[in-house]
Amino acid sequence: MTNDFKENLFVLIKSLSKSEKRQFKLYVGRMGSNSDSKFLNLFNLLDKMDHYDEQIILDQRIVTKQQLSNLKAHLYKQILISLRLNPAHKNIRVQLREQLDFATILYQKGLYKQSLKILEKAKGLALKHEEKYMAYEIVELEKLIESQYITRSLTNRTATLVEQASSLLKDNQFCSHMSNLSLQLYERLIKAGYVKNDEDYRSITKFFYEQLPNVSVDQLDFREKLWYYKAHVWYSFLTQDFLSSFKYSSKWVDMFNTQSDMIEGHPVFYLKGNNYLMESLTLIKYPKKFKETLNEMEQRVTQDNFPKNDNLASLTFLYTYNNKLNLIFMTGEFHEGLKVIPEITAKLEAFENHLDPHHIMIFYYKIACLYFGVDNYEQCIVYLEKIIQNKHLKMREDLLCFTRILSVVAHYEAGFDFHLEAQLRETFKFLIKMNDLHEVQHAIIRFMKRLSDIYPHELKQAFKDLHKELSAFQNDRYERRSFLYLDILSWLESKIQNRSIAEIIKEKAQQLNRKERNPIPID
């Protein structure tokens, strides 16, 4: 993220749509005294700026340097209040929070029955949409009001509230525990990547099952099942059990397809579930089901009842185009894939402030692979350098490793022999620091290191020898994922057969599609 966008207020203003800016000015202008206020003048000035520059603000004499911090905080708050009033942001949680606020105000005014009436309706809405954290908060306020003995309710009212509070508390504790478990597994994946040996596998498995509650899935409600499946998806990815990740991500998406009304209340979970399902389908090489899932998701997000906001727009872009690239790699349609690169780069710029650097760099890596697939090694190197030169990047070590390896291969293919020695030295230094290389990575590096000593007439046999060595790891539980980051076997086959890598991968995809595919059981 550039320095221009480190100013939170400036970023917020630049994120506003034309209608949101207009509503803010109407909101400010509801009182005539605000029409020439300092914070509105500051808003108008920041809105016109292309880059945040505090000196320009001070030169305009809107406010003194000592007052600027407070004025910015006040403007920031006023924008958020205006956005909260915008119908476009009135999702179910905002509506419930608003009703809870209304009920609290009525309670404080001593209008207990009116407050309870609002709370009862809000509670019904919260339970309908599986918003149980909010439902619990509503019940707690109902209990507070009932404890005043003002409404003179019948005794069964107390029993009902106590039962509801206990049930909601239990459900919320389960969801909180499962969300903690999911987050811990995700952190493990980002920091260390996938399990690399039996010791890693035993450690993660022991942790997962010690933390996993003993429950009957059939007895869980929608939200509890969602967190239960999510935790299993992360565990399956970590342990490289791809059939299991397909199983649980399928159950996740099927829940939304069966209860489509839940998509509007939980659109982020809907998108994420589809993304994990497509990632699983990539890993088990099931292109037909992959296409169906991608098409269904694309159709769903364009429907009128699918929520619209900046966060969902950025996630939709991320998951749609990331999986379009995955489909290209599965089918070998690299030349067709070049058409989406301008769309991706334009949207990366548009969503710069909504995407974390990790996901942006993954796009760069995949674009580099796309250029590699069409023999455009110079452009491949350009995108790999964007990753390598980012010294502050927090990215999975396995991806950083294959970025370096692909860069070495691309330099070799491009004929940049004068760069190759330096590339190899830098790559060795980086990989030594990792200290946890797979056998596939070791074999590739050993081969690249002795390339300069191989005579031209010996090269084809050297490629065959490396292909044979690497093929032995293709079905190894801890090594097979390496071939997904970098299809080194198809590259070697292209060198051995004097054909393009795109031809090789496309031919493999056609063979895969011709096979009779039975539905994969998910029970």
As for how many domains the chain has, the answer is 2
Residue scoring higher pLDDT (510 or 144) = 144
Specify the pLDDT at position 229: 95
62 has pLDDT over 50:
yes
- Out of 89, 111, 145, a domain closes at 89
Q: Work out the average pLDDT over 425-447.
A: 74
Same domain, 121 and 48: no
Specify the pLDDT at position 11: 84
- Out of 103, 131, 153, a domain closes at 153
Cβ contact 352:375 at 8 Å: no
Q: Is residue 505 part of a domain?
A: no
CA distance 174 to 167: 11
Q: Is residue 62 part of a domain?
A: yes
Same domain, 116 and 137: yes
503, with CB counted inside 10 A (0-12, 13-18, 19+), is: middle
Query: What's the half-sphere exposure (Cβ side, CA atoms, 13 Å) at 143?
Result: 15
427 has pLDDT over 90:
no
Q: Which helix (H) or strand (E) holds 47?
A: helix 38-48
Q: Work out the average pLDDT over 138-153.
A: 78
Instruction: Please provide the average confidence, as pLDDT, over all residues in the chain.
Output: 85
Q: Which of 7-11, 259-263, 276-280, 517-521 has the lowest mean pLDDT?
A: 517-521
153 has pLDDT over 80:
no
207 has pLDDT over 90:
yes
Same domain, 106 and 50: no
44 token code pair: 């108008």
Same domain, 73 and 100: no
Q: Is residue 448 part of a domain?
A: no
Specify the pLDDT at position 291: 92
Same domain, 39 and 68: yes
Q: Is residue 68 part of a domain?
A: yes
Tell the residue number behind the tokens 């000196």, with chain if given. 55
148 has pLDDT over 80:
no
Q: Work out the average pLDDT over 81-110.
A: 86
Residue scoring higher pLDDT (269 or 17) = 269
Its domain, for residue 46, covers: 3-89
Cβ contact 62:42 at 8 Å: yes
Same domain, 113 and 59: no
Q: Is residue 128 part of a domain?
A: yes
Specify the pLDDT at position 336: 87
Cβ contact 372:338 at 8 Å: no
- Out of 44, 70, 89, a domain closes at 89
Same domain, 100 and 146: yes
| pTM of the entire predicted model | 0.81
215 has pLDDT over 70:
yes
Q: Is residue 27 part of a domain?
A: yes
Same domain, 78 and 110: no
**Nearest partner of 310 among 341, 276, 350, judged by Cα:** 350
**Nearest partner of 372 among 426, 400, 315, 411, judged by Cα:** 411
32 has pLDDT over 60:
no
3-class SS of residue 379: helix
Same domain, 100 and 111: yes
Same domain, 50 and 105: no
380 has pLDDT over 90:
yes
Same domain, 79 and 116: no
Specify the pLDDT at position 348: 92
Within 8 A by CB and 6+ apart from 228, the residues are: 178, 215, 217, 220
pLDDT tier for residue 477 given thresholds of 50, 70 and 90: confident
pLDDT tier for residue 518 given thresholds of 50, 70 and 90: low
Classify 435 in phi/psi space as left (phi over 0), alpha (psi -120 to 50) or beta. Answer: left
Same domain, 120 and 67: no
